[in-house]
Amino acid sequence: MSDFSGKIALVTGAGSGIGRETALFFARAGARVACADINPDALDETLGFIRQKGGDGIAIPADLSTPEACEMVVAKTIEGLGGLHHAFNNAGVAGSFGDRLWDADGIHRTLSINLEAVIWGMKHQIAHMVGNGGGTIVNTASIAGISGNVGTLDYTAAKHGVVGFSKAAAMMYGPQGVRINIVCPGLIQTGMTTIEGRPITEAGLKKLSPVTGQMGEPADIAEAVLWLSSPKSKFVYGVALPVDGGFSIN
């Protein structure tokens, strides 16, 4: 694991699943971590785990579905911890499905949290990093960001948007010292994939994790995020990295 001592990381969606695990990974690697999430109790729990292991961080409760909230989270990180070196824009919701596939409110919610929050977060993260010696940003897309065969509409649109926006930003801001990449999880065991009444079927597992036939773990994604955030990947720009049990093999 790379050493992130003296570094400050911001993780959104840190109350659960992939975000929580990545916040713990950053803390274990020595970073101080700003943890943002809509769920304050879950955030407190994440901070508790970080402190139990001797780490340090702050909790920033926020509903990231507005540009103002995204700006506030970056400002509170800088104010509370004294800077920002690494951002992981990861908060997300499952898209609209079933009889809500074309529901206008549902589509708006999916796009605002899964795509627009990444855009508005990056706006303020980049502005700070460019003026303060650079940094890294990793955004969570999905296999739905690189394939149209995941069975969702608005979620697929949002995640393709994350990939496209991040690649263009990587090109634009890389020369100014901000290195931007994307992680594309396959099926990972988290709150999002264990929703009651919507269990993953054997056929779904076979389709989405064709090599392993198993869900991945949040730690599989956290490992990739820390690598993409570390100097070990210093020659890697604008990559949409699948971590997906073989889904994207073609």
Please give the positions annotated as active site: 155
The Cα 27–Cα 8 span in angstroms is 9
Task: List the one residue from 60, 84, 91, 225 that touches ligand NAD (CB under 6 A).
Answer: 91
Interface with ligand NAD, residue 188, by CB under 6 A: yes
Interface with ligand NAD, residue 22, by CB under 6 A: no
Interface with ligand NAD, residue 193, by CB under 6 A: yes
| Tokens 């990231």, located at residue | 64
Task: List the one residue from 93, 153, 200, 239 that touches ligand NAD (CB under 6 A).
Answer: 93
DSSP the chain: ----TT-EEEEETTTSHHHHHHHHHHHHTT-EEEEEES-HHHHHHHHHHHHHTT-EEEEEE--TTSHHHHHHHHHHHHHHHS--SEEEE--------GGGTT-HHHHHHHHIIIIIHHHHHHHHHHHHHHHTT-EEEEEE--GGGT-S-SS-SHHHHHHHHHHHHHHHHHHHHGGGTEEEEEEEE-SB-SGGG--TT-PPPHHHHHHHSTTT-S-B-HHHHHHHHHHHHSGGGTT--S-EEEESTTTT--
**Separation of CA 111 from chain center:** 15
Interface with ligand NAD, residue 61, by CB under 6 A: no
Task: Considering the complex, state which of residue 125 and residue 193 has its C-beta at the smaller distance from ligand NAD.
Answer: 193
Site string (116-155) toward ligand NAD, x via CB under 6 A: ------------------------x-x-------------
The Cα 24–Cα 56 span in angstroms is 10
Interface with ligand NAD, residue 191, by CB under 6 A: yes
| Shortest distance (Å) from residue 129 CB to ligand NAD | 21
| Shortest distance (Å) from residue 181 CB to ligand NAD | 15
Interface with ligand NAD, residue 113, by CB under 6 A: yes
Binding window for ligand NAD (CB under 6 A); candidates: 32-40, 52-60, 199-207, 230-238: 32-40
Interface with ligand NAD, residue 242, by CB under 6 A: no
Task: List the one residue from 72, 75, 127, 192 that touches ligand NAD (CB under 6 A).
Answer: 192
Residues that bind ligand NAD (CB under 6 A): 13, 15-19, 37-39, 42, 62-65, 90-93, 113-114, 140, 142, 185, 187-188, 190-193
